[in-house]
Amino acid sequence: MTSAAIPHYHAIGIDPADIDFMGHVNNASYLKWVQEAVVSHWQRLAPADAVAEHLWVALKHEITYRKPTFLDDEVIATVLLEKVQGARAFYETIIKRGEEVLAEVKSSWCCLNAETLRPARLAQSVVDRFFRKDQPPI
């Protein structure tokens, strides 16, 4: 049996402050969007007690910019949890305008205990909520 990540679709609001001197979204705004999208993914799929007990800190973002984004664009981020290792989680986020890919982001995150602010491993039952179990072929 294999498992597939459950996608999370996060609408992105573009603010006039996101626009740079060239008339399109500043690269720094993509980082803000990825953070919002990943945290939204966590809050949507994790149980309420796990959300209350854990925080996430970004460790690394690798962004490939494909096309510029403009103020009036309707943009969606699709978030996939690729894997969890210990207290680390690895995500892929694709930012699109319709079918056009605007940016692709690989990021790694550290899970923290909300009280101690120390790295924390998630229970396997929590991690499993982010993946769909595919049925074996008959």
Q: What is the dihedral of CA 42, 43, 46, 47, to 10 degrees?
A: 160
Q: One-letter amino acid identity for 108?
A: S
pTM: 0.90
Asked, for residue 111, whether it belongs to a domain, the answer is: yes
Higher local confidence (pLDDT), 86 or 136: 86
Tell me which residue range forms the domain holding 85: 3-133
Asked, for residue 25, whether it belongs to a domain, the answer is: yes
Asked, for residue 43, whether it belongs to a domain, the answer is: yes
- Segment 1-38, tens digit of pLDDT: 457 999 999 999 999 999 999 999 999 999 999 999 99
Number of domains, the chain: 1
In the chain, % of residues over pLDDT 70: 95
Asked, for residue 61, whether it belongs to a domain, the answer is: yes
Q: Give counts: helices (H), strands (E), the chain.
A: 3, 7
Asked, for residue 138, whether it belongs to a domain, the answer is: no
- Segment 82-96, tens digit of pLDDT: 999 999 999 999 999
* 30 three-state secondary structure: helix
Q: What is the CATH number of the domain that holds 70?
A: 3.10.129.10
Q: What is the pLDDT of residue 1?
A: 46
Q: What is the pLDDT of residue 133?
A: 79
Asked, for residue 20, whether it belongs to a domain, the answer is: yes
Asked, for residue 129, whether it belongs to a domain, the answer is: yes
